[in-house]
Amino acid sequence: MKKHTFPKGFLWGGATAANQIEGGFFEGNKGLNIADVLPGGKERLDILQTPGFDFEIDREKYSYPNHEAIDFYHRYKEDIALFAEMGFKVFRMSIAWTRIFPTGTELEANEEGLAFYDRVFDELHKYGIEPVVTISHYEMPLTLVKEYGGWRSREVVTFFERYVNAIFNRYQNKVKYWMTFNEINSGFIMPIQGLGFSIQKEEDKYQATFQAYHHQFVASAMAVKACHKIIPDAQIGCMILYAPVYPYDSNPQNVMFALQEERLFNYFCADVQVRGEYPAFIQRYFEEHNIDLDMHENDLDIIKEGTVDYIGFSYYMSRTEKRDKTKLEESQGNLIGGVKNPFLRASDWGWEIDPEGLRISLNRLYDRYQVPLFVVENGLGAYDKVEEDGSINDDYRIDFLGSHIKAIGEAIKDGVQLIGYTSWGCIDLVSASSGEFSKRYGYIYVDKHDDGSGTLERKKKKSFYWYKEVIATNGEAL
Ligand code: BG6
């Protein structure tokens, strides 16, 4: 790496989400949320992708790994000390809405929940680590799902507003980086986690999805406005799942198809949240899918006034598209489809590994929006082996992360303005899509397994020492 590629003050750190690490699912008056009813194992992905899920717990049939997760609720001090040892400047985490408003509908916030995050933020600040907080990461209160139909309902906007006001007021001196909805665009594929409902068999999925999106856009814009008012020195971003779409070949039909997929999946939400307007291309899509949004009179003004300060995004892989996919092998991957890219190899979970795609992503996003970017998720889910001497030699993870961070360095040299980098799952956690513990991302190993066994003991992997060096040298050790 050329000297000083990464700017002074670049925010190095790691990322997590409340429901994937905390556990303590019934402690401190917490209410049930979506993640609490999602089973572990391969069944989870089927449930997430099949219409008609009933959001009930069935302990005879399934296990529920998020209930205990890695017990960050009780072990946060030990974990934060390890993050500090690596030299983290920031720690991305989320607040569980259900710790603050257990059903989502209360008028007063739950003091025990507020106090828990006070303790976490104080512990982070003790080491000079800034929290980067996602307000809603795949886990709205179950009451809002069951009684209101999730983000289909306009009333949820009001409940969300109450929630964000409570946390902005309480943490105004402790949190300066915020994001509204995690991977907001993932709701297209997994509405259960993103939009808080399962498409019903008789339901028009397009109308329901875009109406829910409209409510989230209004809610997000209201949150941005409230944040700017209550914490004027804070920055608040949107958060999208970004996987650049490549055409399979130079056939103009495929190039156009890739462009359409890129705009709809990657840009639609960010266009609204960053530019404050529904983009021109979506009008045609609405007409072709008979979508007629129910909007309140001043919704578009709110959206215009509540544009975000930066774009946070996750990057795991690129996606290759062809209009006619017959005869081609489909690729698996972070919720998104596409066909196999012959130039790329894939992880154990079929996610194609493409560091150059991260440079492409950063350039495309910056070219389009000209606002600061923040890579808030990136990482390799892999099986790790604990050797007899207790060491975990995760060179594959070091290769993955090193090549991606180098690609970020190139993008910075290309002129992209980047706030920081928080790799996903800096400590092993429950996988969002499969509920597995064995899909590990961390620099810190957690002794917890898919069958529920394990001591929860933490161990440093080889990548722990590697990342520590990367941070200490501001990326120059690469
Ligand atoms: C992102 C999510 O999609 O990818 C995280 O924001 C998730 O919550 C991460 O954990 C990795 O995906 P998975 O399915 O491997 O956990």
Q: List pLDDT tens digits, range 391-402.
A: 999 999 999 999
Collapsing DSSP to helix, strand or coil, 176 comes out as coil
Q: Is 388 assigned a catalytic role?
A: no
For residue 138, which atom of ligand 1 is closest to its CA? 8
Q: How high is the pLDDT of residue 330?
A: 81
Cα of 183 vs centre of ligand 1, distance in Å, is: 9
Cα of 208 vs centre of ligand 1, distance in Å, is: 24
51 pLDDT higher than 90: no
Q: Is the CB of 315 under 6 A from ligand 1?
A: no
Cα of 94 vs centre of ligand 1, distance in Å, is: 13
When comparing pLDDT for 237 and 337, which is higher? 237
Q: Which of 262, 321, 377, 436 is catalytic?
A: 377
Residue nearest to atom 5 of ligand 1 (CA): 432
Residue nearest to atom 10 of ligand 1 (CA): 432
Cβ neighbours for 17, distance < 8 A, ≥ 6 positions apart: 93, 94, 134, 137, 138, 139, 182, 429, 432
The mean pLDDT value for 41-49 works out to 87
Q: Is 261 assigned a catalytic role?
A: no
Q: Which residues pair with 136 in a beta bridge?
A: 181
Cβ neighbours for 161, distance < 8 A, ≥ 6 positions apart: 219, 222, 223, 226
SS (H, E, C) 280-346: HHHHHHHHHCCCCCCCCCCHHHHHHHCCCCEEEEECCCCEEECCCCCCCCECCCCCCCCECCCCCCE
Q: How high is the pLDDT of residue 42?
A: 80
For residue 379, which atom of ligand 1 is closest to its CA? 11
Residue 298's Cβ-count burial label (10 Å; 0-12, 13-18, 19+) is exposed
For residue 349, which atom of ligand 1 is closest to its CA? 15
Q: Which residues pair with 33 in a beta bridge?
A: 141
Cα of 253 vs centre of ligand 1, distance in Å, is: 32
Alpha helices per DSSP H over 378-461 = 395-414
Measured between alpha carbons, how far is 373 from 72 in angstroms, rounded to an integer?
Answer: 28
DSSP 8-class letter at 382: B
Cα of 217 vs centre of ligand 1, distance in Å, is: 22
268 pLDDT higher than 90: yes
Measured between alpha carbons, how far is 294 from 288 in angstroms, rounded to an integer?
Answer: 17
3-state DSSP: the chain helix, strand, coil percent, rounded to 5?
45, 15, 45
Measured between alpha carbons, how far is 72 from 17 in angstroms, rounded to an integer?
Answer: 11
Residue nearest to atom 15 of ligand 1 (CA): 431
Task: Provide the pLDDT confidence category of residue 153 given band limits of 50, 70 and 90.
Answer: very high
Residue 81's identity, in one-letter code, is: A
Cα of 315 vs centre of ligand 1, distance in Å, is: 10
For a ligand 1 pocket test, name from 44, 46, 238, 334 the mutation site with the most ligand atoms within 8 angstroms of its C-beta: 334
Measured between alpha carbons, how far is 134 from 136 in angstroms, rounded to an integer?
Answer: 6
Q: pLDDT tens digit string along 425-470?
A: 999 999 999 999 999 999 999 999 999 999 999 999 999 999 999 9
Q: How high is the pLDDT of residue 1?
A: 57
Is the sign of the CA dihedral 353, 356, 360, 365 positive or negative?
positive
For a ligand 1 pocket test, name from 335, 348, 433, 436 the mutation site with the most ligand atoms within 8 angstroms of its C-beta: 433
Residue nearest to atom 2 of ligand 1 (CA): 432
Cβ neighbours for 20, distance < 8 A, ≥ 6 positions apart: 35, 66, 69, 425, 429, 430, 431, 432
Are the beta carbons of 281 and 289 closer than 8 angstroms? no
Are the beta carbons of 319 and 351 closer than 8 angstroms? no
Q: Which fold has domain 11-472?
A: TIM Barrel (3.20.20)
The mean pLDDT value for 339-353 works out to 94
Task: Provide the pLDDT confidence category of residue 336 given band limits of 50, 70 and 90.
Answer: confident
Q: Where do the structural domains in the chain lie, given as residue ranges? A: 11-472
Q: How high is the pLDDT of residue 415?
A: 97
Measured between alpha carbons, how far is 195 from 238 in angstroms, rounded to an integer?
Answer: 15
- Is the pTM here over 0.85, yes or no? yes
The residue among 374, 371, 394, 368 whose CA lies nearest residue 383 is 394
Measured between alpha carbons, how far is 329 from 142 in angstroms, rounded to an integer?
Answer: 38
Considering just the CA atoms, what is the radius of gyration of the chain in Å?
Answer: 21
Q: Is the CB of 378 under 6 A from ligand 1?
A: no
For residue 434, which atom of ligand 1 is closest to its CA? 14
Q: Is the CB of 153 under 6 A from ligand 1?
A: no
CB-side neighbour CA atoms (13 Å) of 153: 16
Q: Which of 139, 183, 262, 410 is catalytic?
A: 183
Q: Is the CB of 109 under 6 A from ligand 1?
A: no
Residue nearest to atom 12 of ligand 1 (CA): 432
For residue 316, which atom of ligand 1 is closest to its CA? 4
